[in-house]
Amino acid sequence: MARAKLSTRARWLWSATAAIAVLAVGAVLFQPWLLLIDVRVADAIPTAIATAPPTNQASRQTSAATPPGSVESVEMPAPAPGPVDLLAGEFVSHEHETNGGARIIQLPDGRRHLAIEGLVTSNGPDVHVWLSAGPVVEGLDGWFTAAGYDHIDLGPIKGNLGDQLYDIPAEVDLAAFRTVDLWCERFSVSFGAAALS
């Protein structure tokens, strides 16, 4: 009888220890407390004075059509005296309800920034801001789309609410990376994405 009681007690202790270990691992992975914590960001977003003029494709095509050895005068737009909007789009929700806008702003010195404005989404573990070569797909299919395409990681998201600014490396080809994706690296899922045009 004493052996049976000891065996039952040992099984109960083992079960309780296993349950605690599973809960601890789950808590570390999922970090459920983040859903209760909002992080508001208020970066100063440059105000664009204009939308960027069309690209120099017409002048490039004209130059390419010019016979070798001839000289052609190509009129190029003067640099803008302030920040210019190059691309913009609105977020669609994926795995988490996500609202807000995204703009790519070019400064007079040529530097470019991604501005995320009025962001409202959930907080989560290991969420990064990506410029993706993939399309924005609405609905459940869009949750995983970005994983199959090239991307540029601009770093961890600064917060789940408000306005935030991210530097875009000079070598990034914006013609190839036209999607902003809030990507949870831990679970390989998109919180939300914006198509830029």
Residues 38-65 have pLDDT tens digits of 999 999 999 988 776 554 443 333 334 4
Distance CA 165, CA 190 (A): 19
Least confident of 57-61, 101-105, 159-163, 175-179: 57-61
| Pairing label, strands 127-132, 179-184 | antiparallel
Averaged over 180-195, what is the pLDDT? Answer: 97
Q: Are 80 and 50 in contact (CB under 8 A)?
A: yes
Distance CA 74, CA 153 (A): 36
Distance CA 72, CA 70 (A): 7
133 vs 15, 34, 61, 77, 151, CA distance in Å?
48, 29, 25, 28, 6
Q: Would you mind telling me the total number of residues written for the chain in this entry?
A: 197
Q: What is the pTM of this model?
A: 0.71
Contacts of 61 (CB under 8 A, 6+ apart): none
Contacts of 126 (CB under 8 A, 6+ apart): 156, 184, 185, 186
Distance CA 37, CA 122 (A): 9
164 pLDDT tier (thresholds 50, 70, 90)? very high
